[in-house]
């Protein structure tokens, strides 16, 4: 079956160890993705990412960890609907010309997934937040991120006439 894939690459002025820790340490994940991050970053365990007070937005099973090189998760549950379930995320970390490179993939999306374009944009923003966090110690996790497609409805007006 055909599928879609989000793929981003970012260069980070930090060690592979620092980048790896930012995507595996629950407290550090909360500094660049969502402030409410729970779980255990161990193979076979789960991580929960909360963007809502009522339910986890994504529950990931940790599939692989290779220190300072690779992190893989599979989405096993999603409070935002079924489009994320079964998708896989990969953070591949390596050095190139004195800088750390992060290859990010969010794969196995159904071809008709309606949230795919917005998710790709949002991942780009959160990866910039990751870069900022690792380089400066301060990221832009949800709810302090740059909102995407958060157009507020127009305020009702009273026509007195």
Q: Identify the DSSP state of 147.
A: -
Q: How many domains does the chain divide into?
A: 1
**Considering the domain boundaries, does residue 73 fall inside one?**
yes
Neighbours of 96 (CB within 10 A): 8
Cα–Cα dist 18/32, whole Å:
13
pLDDT the model gives residue 161:
45
**Considering the domain boundaries, does residue 157 fall inside one?**
no
Cα–Cα dist 23/32, whole Å:
9
The residue ranges of the chain whose pLDDT is under 70 are 1, 80-81, 149-161
pLDDT the model gives residue 160:
45
**Considering the domain boundaries, does residue 146 fall inside one?**
no
**Considering the domain boundaries, does residue 161 fall inside one?**
no
CB 11 within 8 A of CB 100: yes
Residues in the chain: 161
**Considering the domain boundaries, does residue 101 fall inside one?**
yes
Q: Which structural domain range is residue 67 located in?
A: 4-136
Q: What is the pLDDT of residues 54-65, one digit of tens each?
A: 777 899 999 999
**Considering the domain boundaries, does residue 149 fall inside one?**
no
CB 58 within 8 A of CB 83: no
* Contacts of residue 76, Cβ cutoff 8 Å, sequence gap at least 6: 46, 59, 60, 61, 85
CATH of the domain at 31: 3.30.530.20
**Considering the domain boundaries, does residue 144 fall inside one?**
no
The three-state (H, E, C) secondary structure of 70-113, written as one string: EEEEEEEECCCCCCCCCCEEEEEEEEECCEEEEEEEEEEECCCC
pTM greater than the 0.75 cutoff: yes
């Amino acid at each position: 079956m055909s599928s879609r894939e989000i793929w981003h690459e970012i260069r980070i002025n930090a060690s592979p160890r620092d980048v790896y820790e930012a995507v595996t340490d629950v407290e550090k994940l909360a500094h660049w993705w969502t402030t409410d991050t729970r779980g255990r970053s161990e193979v076979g365990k789960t991580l929960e990412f909360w963007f809502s007070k009522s339910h986890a937005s994504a529950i990931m099973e940790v599939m692989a960890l290779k220190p300072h090189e690779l992190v893989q998760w599979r989405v096993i549950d999603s409070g935002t609907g079924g489009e994320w379930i079964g998708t896989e995320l990969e953070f591949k970390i390596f050095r190139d010309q004195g800088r750390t490179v992060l290859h990010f993939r969010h794969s196995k999306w159904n071809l008709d997934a309606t949230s795919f374009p917005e998710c790709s944009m949002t991942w780009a923003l959160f990866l910039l937040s990751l870069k900022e966090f690792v380089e400066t110690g301060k990221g832009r996790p949800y709810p302090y991120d740059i909102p995407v497609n958060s157009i507020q409805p127009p305020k009702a007006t009273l026509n007195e006439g």
